[in-house]
Amino acid sequence: MQYLFLIGSAPDAPAETEADDGPTIEEWAREVYEERGAGKMGDRLRPASEATTVRIRRGETLVTDGPFVEGSEYIGGFDVIECENLDEAVEIAAKHPMARHGLIEIRPVWSLGL
């Protein structure tokens, strides 16, 4: 099963964190992508201010600069992970450095079987 990890900020995260003994992003990526072979793709995203939103309304294409969702959180990156089940996806996400400083939203990918 594939899962999309949306890597985001969390406005309620403490400004200062206690001693951080978790893996760095490089260590996490090495474990997930190289050692486990679970990582399929991922990257950082450009800032939300550079987003473009496209909608079709009454047959007209509407293009808007900026993100669709306004809020204090923002999505800064993503990873696509392949693993056995949600429990394994949670275990992998819990090791991601942004789980300590931000948030990881996990979404199952709805496979079309293509």
Q: Which of 5-14, 64-73, 104-113 has the lowest mean pLDDT?
A: 64-73
Residue 20 CB neighbours (<10 A): 10
Residue 114 to residue 96: CA distance in whole angstroms: 30
Domains of the chain: 2-12+23-108 (3.30.70.1060)
* β-bridge partners, 108: 3
The position carrying tokens 């496979």 is 111
Q: Which residue has the tokens 């800032």?
A: 47
82 vs 80: CA distance, rounded Å: 7
Each residue's pLDDT tens digit, 30-72: 999 999 999 999 999 988 788 888 889 999 999 988 766 666 6
Give the separation between CA 92 and CA 28, rounded to whole angstroms. Answer: 9
Q: For a pLDDT cut of 70, what percent of the chain falls above it? A: 85
